[in-house]
Amino acid sequence: MLRITIAQLNLTVGDIEGNVARMVAAARQAAREQSDLIVFSELALCGYYPADMLDEPPFLQRVQDGVAALQKASAELPALHWVVGAPMPARGPGKKLHNSLLVLQGGNVRLQYAKQLLPTYNIFDERRHFEPGPDVAKVLRIGSAQVGMLVCEDGWNDHGADYIVNPFERLRDAAPDLVISINASPSHIGKREQRHTMFGGSSRRHGLPILYVNQVGGHDQLVFDGGSFATEPEAGVVFEAPRFAEDVRTLLFDGGRFLTAEGKRPAPVPAQGLPTMEFYRQQILLGLTDYARRCGFTQVVVGSSGGIDSALTLALAAQALGPQNVVGITMPSRYSSSGSVDDSATLCRNLGVQLLTHPIAELVAAYARQYEASFGQPLSGLPLENLQARIRGTVLMEYSNAFGHLLLTTGNKSEISVGYCTLYGDTNGGLGLIGDLYKTEVFALARHVNEQAGRELIPQAIIDKEPSAELAPGQRDTDSLPPYPVLDEILKLLIEGDRLSPAEQATAATLVAQLEETDAGAALVQRVHGMVARNEYKRRQAPPILRLRPRAFGSGRQMPIAAKYV
């Protein structure tokens, strides 16, 4: 029988000393619980993913110092084996590093395994820094069990479609009693079920129990949801750690079965995870909390327009950081409706958030007068509309600079896709919370926030209001864009395609096919495609957005700016 402690920790990229301290604390807890083995996540020592920090000699020296510190700590707990992820030097030609798994015990490195499959798709770029490990299986006897080791992607090619090498087959041939897979698997909608399907299938095919340990926490655009789990060949997934939270938990492994520390079978694991909107809410809350904390911010500021996007952003920020740490600023112009200002006041009162007012009508008029004096023609049309957005963006950045608040941008995926936003205006900010939500999802999440709170945090008047930028008289989003239920389906198929869930893909494909049956519909689809292509330059300059879906803007969708798309 093995006692195994899972260390699902929220570690910080680059904070070697801090990460070591957290890992040692978890190991001491494991020792108190008389565990044989503690398992940390992929690249736990340095955090995932350090990117080009891996090219810096001082950083690599700190990594080596961290390994030495862990070895020293392991010598103080000689009965405990530590499974640790860390970048380690590679020998021979190629890149200078391996993405490695180390097993430490009694101050010594008892096993070292180098990750073989290095992903370079979507948000991953590991081959930029690491050399693939050799095609060998690594198994270590710990107590009465033979334990095999894998690192993340090595377990994702059991179907054999993505790489020539399948480390799972080699490991199966080594006949371990248990497989441990350390991971840094970022979260998006449907990812939990994908993991369970993939590793549950491998467990059945090879007759191998698998313990999957994941990291948790927000790192720039990415959020890691934890959700470490154990799967058995016959029973499937039998244990799951909490999602979106740290967890240090001890399990027993006895006779091919996983048990609680008390020797009982774990509670049944539901096949389906969180409902979609609750998943979005929790992912955004953790992403914002960690982004602000790691970047040194305790407070945020949001431009409050009285529209649905800023309302949802304010509500989520208040839940993540506490309403006392959130400030809204309403900036009415000559085109702002009284309802929008009133709705902002009601919203912030419901949330307990401070609302400040900074009118911009006089600033806009002064800009317009000087523009005409300098350039000989009146300021009107699109330049005047964008000027209002840019003045608001400047006011928000002034507040951020003066008071030290992180400015949250409020654009959604529909608007960002087609460029329905103003550079250096409403795109200003340090982080976008809802930039991976289509507009129809923004409305759905706003309703969910109210339902989850059990009261009307976001006023129904805001949810019911027809979307408008309010930059011109009587302006509505539909003056420039197709209705959002139509636009969103076109965008989903174009941007995410086969990465959509089967249900989403079928819905989007059906609607687009129906549109393309008429000349007007086909022209609309083509127009949307052109808008997406023409506005890559705006997305390139936009703040990072929290990733919620399989393909998000940023590192997950890398497109050229100066290119012919059609």
Query: What average pLDDT does this structure show over 355-379?
Result: 95
Using alpha carbons only, what angle is made at residue 292 by residues 286 and 298, rounded to the nearest 5 degrees? 115
**Nearest-angstrom CA–CA distance, 473 and 274:** 42
pLDDT tens readout for residues 176-219: 999 999 999 999 999 999 999 999 999 999 999 999 999 999 99
Q: Is the confidence at residue 335, as pLDDT, over 80?
A: no
Identify the residue with better confidence: 159 or 545.
545
**Nearest-angstrom CA–CA distance, 480 and 79:** 67
**Nearest-angstrom CA–CA distance, 487 and 418:** 10
Q: Is the confidence at residue 470, as pLDDT, over 70?
A: no
**Nearest-angstrom CA–CA distance, 202 and 196:** 10
Answer for the pair 131, 115: CB distance below 8 angstroms, yes or no: no
Answer for the pair 544, 427: CB distance below 8 angstroms, yes or no: no
**Nearest-angstrom CA–CA distance, 467 and 476:** 6
pLDDT at 480: 77
Mean pLDDT taken over the chain:
94
pLDDT tens readout for residues 482-534: 999 999 999 999 999 999 999 999 999 999 999 999 999 999 999 999 999 99
Q: Which residues, in sequence order, are CB contacts of 7 under 8 Å at separation 6+?
A: 23, 26, 27, 30, 38, 39, 40, 41, 44, 213, 248
Split at pLDDT 50, 70, 90, the class of 469 is: low
For the CA atoms of 257, 261, 263, 264, the dihedral, rounded to the nearest 10 degrees, stands at -80
- For the record, the structure tokens of 301 come out as 């500021």
pLDDT at 29: 98
Neighbours of 69 (CB within 10 A): 17
Answer for the pair 362, 393: CB distance below 8 angstroms, yes or no: no
Split at pLDDT 50, 70, 90, the class of 20 is: very high
- For the record, the structure tokens of 133 come out as 């490990």
Query: What average pLDDT does this structure show over 54-81?
Result: 97
Q: Is the confidence at residue 562, as pLDDT, over 90?
A: no
Query: How do strand 145-151 and strand 178-182 relate by DSSP bridges?
Result: parallel
Query: What average pLDDT does this structure show over 17-34?
Result: 98
pLDDT at 375: 96
Split at pLDDT 50, 70, 90, the class of 563 is: confident
Q: What is the distance of C-alpha 309 from the center of its chain?
A: 19
Query: What average pLDDT does this structure show over 332-354?
Result: 87
Split at pLDDT 50, 70, 90, the class of 92 is: confident
Neighbours of 305 (CB within 10 A): 26
Q: Is the confidence at residue 555, as pLDDT, over 90?
A: no
The full DSSP string for 53-74 is GGG-HHHHHHHHHHHHHHHHHH
Among 7, 67, 5, 71, which Cα is nearest to 37's? 5
Q: Is the confidence at residue 463, as pLDDT, over 90?
A: yes
Percent of the chain with pLDDT over 70: 98
Answer for the pair 4, 36: CB distance below 8 angstroms, yes or no: yes
Among 208, 218, 279, 212, which Cα is nearest to 241's? 212
pLDDT at 333: 86
Question: Phi then psi for 138, rounded to 5 degrees?
Answer: -120, 120
Q: Is the confidence at residue 539, as pLDDT, over 90?
A: yes
Query: For the chain, how many residues are written?
Result: 566
Split at pLDDT 50, 70, 90, the class of 334 is: confident
For the CA atoms of 466, 469, 470, 476, the dihedral, rounded to the nearest 10 degrees, stands at -40
Among 501, 7, 33, which Cα is nearest to 226's? 7
pLDDT at 160: 84
Side chain identity, residue 359 = P
Split at pLDDT 50, 70, 90, the class of 161 is: confident
Q: If you ran DSSP here, which 8-state letter would residue 465 be given?
A: S
pLDDT tens readout for residues 381-432: 999 989 999 999 999 999 999 999 999 999 999 999 999 999 999 999 999 9
Question: Phi then psi for 349, rounded to 5 degrees?
Answer: -65, -45
**Nearest-angstrom CA–CA distance, 410 and 435:** 7
Q: Which residues, in sequence order, are CB contacts of 49 under 8 Å at separation 6+?
A: 13, 43, 124, 126, 184, 219
**Nearest-angstrom CA–CA distance, 525 and 539:** 20
Query: What average pLDDT does this structure show over 319-323?
Result: 98
**Nearest-angstrom CA–CA distance, 303 and 408:** 8
- For the record, the structure tokens of 563 come out as 């290119």
Q: Is the confidence at residue 475, as pLDDT, over 80?
A: no
**Nearest-angstrom CA–CA distance, 491 and 525:** 9
pLDDT at 465: 85
Domains present along the chain, CATH in parentheses: 2-267 (3.60.110.10), 278-481+535-541 (3.40.50.620)
- For the record, the structure tokens of 480 come out as 């420039």
Answer for the pair 117, 167: CB distance below 8 angstroms, yes or no: yes
Split at pLDDT 50, 70, 90, the class of 360 is: very high
pLDDT at 338: 65
pLDDT at 444: 97
The full DSSP string for 347-369 is HHHHHT-EEEE---HHHHHHHHH
Rg over alpha carbons for the chain, rounded to the nearest Å, is 26
Query: How do strand 354-357 and strand 229-232 relate by DSSP bridges?
Result: unpaired
**Nearest-angstrom CA–CA distance, 411 and 437:** 9
Residues marked as catalytic: 42, 115, 152
Q: Is the confidence at residue 84, as pLDDT, over 90?
A: yes
Q: Is 93 helix (H, G, I), strand (E, B) or coil?
A: coil
pLDDT at 468: 67
Side chain identity, residue 95 = K
Identify the residue with better confidence: 338 or 96.
96
Which residues on neighbouring strands pair with residue 139, listed in sequence order? 148
